[in-house]
Structure 1
Amino acid sequence: MKSLLLCFALTMSSFVFAQYNYDASEQLPFGKANPKAPEQIKDYQALIGLCECKSTTRKQDGTWNDPIDMIWRWKYIMNGMAIQDETLKADGTHSGSIRQFNTDSSKWYVHFFSSKGIPNTLPTWTGNKKDGKIILYKDQKAPNGTEGFFRLTFYDISKSGYKWIGEWVDKTETIVYPTWKIDCKRK
């Protein structure tokens, strides 16, 4: 009976560990894409890891604040089926996102959280990779009430780093007002 229980326990522990072959570990500090994940999981492949960044936001008067040093850390989560990123800023504000690709809608769903405030519901951006850029949208009115989006774009993505910009755009994307930009270099 003891040997049967031991055999069962070893089988179960092997099963449990096998479920997490793609999560972050000592051997894979940022995890690994699960081969069963949607092909689009590779959209973020070049961002996985650590980058040292400069984050710059726009002031109310339209000028830009001085850049803030920031670490942007990316890893695979949920056994390589999704992606999590986290920003650690020198000014003490931090944020992150959970990124999942929905095969039914063929879109990325990005749920954002921040240490600046805890909303009842996490804001969500949706979008895709197109022409080497990852572009995400969330409905947002301009201060004057004009319908539009807050658009997030990752671009100039390479092995050495990437750039990111947050912009308010009207529904036709002819009016573009940048409010936040980040420049990242691979660590």
Structure 2
Amino acid sequence: MKQLTNLLFLVSFTVFSQYSYNSSEAFPFGQANPEAPKQITDYEAMIGSCNCTSTRRNQDGTWTEPEAMTWTWKYILNGMAVQDETLKADGSHSGSIRQFIADSSRWYVHWYSSKTPSTTFPTWEGNKKENGNIVLYKEQAAPNGTEGFFRLTFYDISKSGYKWVGEWVDKSESVVFPTWKIDCIREDN
């Protein structure tokens, strides 16, 4: 009986230690795993929930009325990756899984949405810059066929919130056309 008790303790300890950075009562948004690449903390100020307003550019160039949304971030995969989820007032939802791949020294962000289910997720890639902004790119041609990128930028990042802009840029980034903006304030402020 003592051997069985010792074995159960060992198995319980091993399972717990394998997942000790996942969400828990003490850490509802998980924790960064110290074994992860140091870049896992690039999103640290965003971990938790924020109340946000989202605006998009209309076809005529004007901006939509701000839409309320909640943006929640957490560590997943035992603290080795970051997941975010948006819950919008119109009932739509989206999210991303963010993994830093050390071999390429880049973040890879896989996006999904309840409005546009897909068999393959669009992927952005990029890094945190020296100025503290996180900038991600996905190749995308403009409606007129000009080659470029859809660039996502997180900026003004602090413990009290952050801002985000999605914009089309040409390959030289000299032409910049914002199409989506989000401003977020942390819920517990």
Matches for 1:37-52 after TM superposition, within 5 Å: 37-52=36-51
List per-residue Cα deviations over 1:46-79 (Å, max 9, x = no partner): 0101100000011111111101000000000011
For 1:136-147, what aligned pairs fall within 5 Å after superposition? Answer: 136-147=136-147
Residues 148-176 of structure 1: CA distance to partner in whole angstroms, max 9, x if unpaired? 00000000111211000000000000111
CA apart distance, 1:3 = 2.7
CA distance in 1, matches of 2:186, 2:171: 34
Q: Alpha-carbon deviations, 1:108-143, whole Å to 9, x = none? A: 000000001111110000000001100000000001
Determine whether 1:174 maps to 2:142: no
Amino acid at match of 1:105: S
**In 2, Cα distance between equivalents of 1:14 and 1:42:** 26
Pair 1:148 & 2:148 matched: yes
User: Aligned partners of 1:125 and 1:184: how far apart in 2?
Assistant: 21
**Number of residue pairs aligned between Structure 1 and Structure 2:** 186
* CA distance in 2 between partners of 1:64 and 1:74 (Å): 26
What's 2:162 paired with? 162
- The letter of the residue matching 1:125 is W
CA distance in 1, matches of 2:135, 2:92: 24
Aligned counterparts, 1:80-119, within 5 A:
80-119=79-118
Quick one: distance in 2 between partners of 1:85 and 1:25?
17
Partner AA of 1:177 in structure 2: F
CA RMSD after TM alignment: 0.8
Aligned match of 1:134? 134
**Counterpart secondary structure, 1:113:** strand
Counterpart of 2:121 in 1: which secondary structure? coil
Provide the identity percentage.
67
Q: Deviations over 1:80-107 (max 9, x none)?
A: 1100000000011110000000000000
Aligned equivalents of 2:70 and 2:5: distance in 1?
Answer: 45
Q: Give unmatched runs, 5+ long, in structure 2.
A: none
| Counterpart AA for 1:148 | G
Taking the TM superposition and a 5 Å limit, the aligned residue runs for 1:47-58 are 47-58=46-57
In structure 2, how many angstroms separate the alpha carbons of the residues matched to 1:157 and 1:6? 49
Counterpart CA distance in 1 for 2:91 and 2:168 is 25
**TM-score (ref. length: structure 1):** 0.97
